[in-house]
Structure 1
Amino acid sequence: MKKGVISGDIVAFTSLSNKDKESVEAHIKALFKELTAAFGCYARLVKGDYLECVVPKPEDALKVALLIKSSIKSILITKDSRSDHRTSYFENYGIRLAIGFGSLQRFDTEKGIIDGEAIYMSGRKINEEDTHTMDRISIKNTLFFVSKDEDLNNRFEPLLLLLDFLMNKATARQSQVLYYKLMGNNEDAIAKKLGISQPAVNQHANGIGWNAIEKAVQYFNNTLKSQ
């Protein structure tokens, strides 16, 4: 049975202050618990700035990837981190994510084993797109899909490019709203969680392009269900 595996690399993580690094790590660990509860995911942090997430139902993989992206984009960093100009990349992009769609020959959560084509493909894609150096960060895209089916890859590529464009322009508040929307909360519930008005929630949702994102997620879900 095929699974979705997400590999991710936090952008400019090494440029953050130690306090912000700890905050980001704690935030991600809490996020993993929510993803496990909602989607049955198995997720882990590797070396602080790299994550791996197995999504049992691959049709949920794009939604999970956008939840990870929006959650990390909602994190506010301190002034200590802003002394390094590269932290602006963290605020703009948050994380680069690749969805691998394929089999896992070995998957054992108790032993921490994730082994198979799906994780090889997602991990390889992240490494291929890595253009970080000590002095410069060059980022073209932050959302990828890879499988052995080239037709499927080609169908999803423009979709993810458009989502990438919307996500990378999103503010921290818009990212928060998107996260709760993707989790199925209505605007009144989101307003209570964030301590803002329902019209403000609606404004943020429209600002990030929620209607388009919702349809894109549904298209991805329906397409992979048919595979």
Structure 2
Amino acid sequence: MNYSVISGDIVSSTSLSIPDQKFVEEKLKILISDLKHEFNVYGRIIKGDYLECVVPNATEGLQVALAIKSFVKAIYIDAKKYTKEDNRVKQFKIHGIRLAIGYGQLSRYNPEEGVIDGEAIYLSGREISGESTYNKERIVIKNTLFFASKNEDLNKNFQTLLALLDVLFSKATARQCEVLYLKLMNNQEDEIAKQLNIGQSAVNQHSTSVGWNAIDEAVNYFKMVISK
């Protein structure tokens, strides 16, 4: 049985103030609870700024990853508390989190005991720790979405797709990301309007502006390819 395992690293987390770091960690706990409820995901937070999530239905891997991405980008951090020279906080607001989807088997998986071991988590962890795309000292961020499997054709298949999604998400506002998150969590627009206390037309406008149709097609394409 194959799984999608997602490893995530909060961008520039150490540049946030201690209260903001704790605030982000508390938000991540809410996220993990939501993902458990909607997708039966087992998730855990390591050292406050690193996520590991097992998606039992591997076809939902990209949907869950993008839900995580949009949730983190929607977290409100008051940039006014930081100096203009502190570019790292700006990077957090632009990118939020770096995510890698590892696709493969797990030799050991026991959510009750917190045990995750095997190919899929090794692949996602190795991809997220690579230094070629992220240098903490120079603040160079080229990509924040990755896919890794033993199938090189599959890896190439998703490389361009994730790069394009990266561009869409980097330009998305916090409000757009709120809408994206709720859509990726399978909520209808009228439900989202009620939750955010805005009109349904505003929900539709945010969705259109951020490129929801393309994101939805990408999620469905991922499901189709992985299910084969």
Same fold, TM exceeding 0.5? yes
Write out the 4+ residue segments of structure 1 that deviate beyond 6 Å after TM superposition: none
| Counterpart in the other structure of 1:65 | 65
Contact 2:79 2:89 in 1 (8 A): no
Contact 1:43 1:51 in 2 (8 A): yes
1:189 and 2:155 are equivalent in the alignment:
no
| Counterpart in the other structure of 2:200 | 198
Q: After superposition, give the CA deviation of every residue in 1:143-171 in whole Å (9 maximum; x if it has no partner).
A: 01100001111111111111111011100
Map 1:45-56; keep pairs closer than 5 Å: 45-56=45-56
| Counterpart in the other structure of 1:87 | 89
| Counterpart in the other structure of 2:15 | 15
Cα offset for 1:81?
Answer: 4.8
1:132 to 130, 135, 156: 135
| Counterpart in the other structure of 1:147 | 149
Q: Distance in 2 between matches of 1:131 and 1:156?
A: 20
1:175 to 174, 177, 181: 177
Contact 2:4 2:101 in 1 (8 A): yes
2:102 to 84, 100, 103: 100
> What residue identity is the alignment partner of 2:218?
A
Local SS of the residue matching 2:181: helix
Contact 2:3 2:58 in 1 (8 A): yes
TM-score of the aligned structures, taking structure 1 as reference length? 0.96
Cα RMSD after superposing both structures: 1.2
Cα offset for 1:184?
Answer: 1.7
Q: Distance in 2 between matches of 1:34 and 1:59?
A: 18
Local SS of the residue matching 1:128: coil
| Counterpart in the other structure of 1:77 | 77
Local SS of the residue matching 1:168: helix
| Counterpart in the other structure of 1:212 | 214
Contact 1:2 1:102 in 2 (8 A): yes
Q: Distance in 2 between matches of 1:218 and 1:132?
A: 32
Q: After superposition, give the CA deviation of every residue in 1:44-96 in whole Å (9 maximum; x if it has no partner).
A: 01111111000001100000000000000001102465333310000000000
Cα offset for 1:132?
Answer: 3.0
Q: Distance in 2 between matches of 1:100 and 1:131?
A: 18
Cα offset for 1:109?
Answer: 1.6
Q: Distance in 2 between matches of 1:81 and 1:38?
A: 35
> What residue identity is the alignment partner of 2:82?
R
Number of residue equivalences: 225
Cα offset for 1:19?
Answer: 1.4
Local SS of the residue matching 1:69: helix
Contact 2:13 2:21 in 1 (8 A): yes
> What residue identity is the alignment partner of 1:159?
L
Of 102-111 and 163-172, the range deviating more from structure 2: 102-111
Cα offset for 1:127?
Answer: 0.8
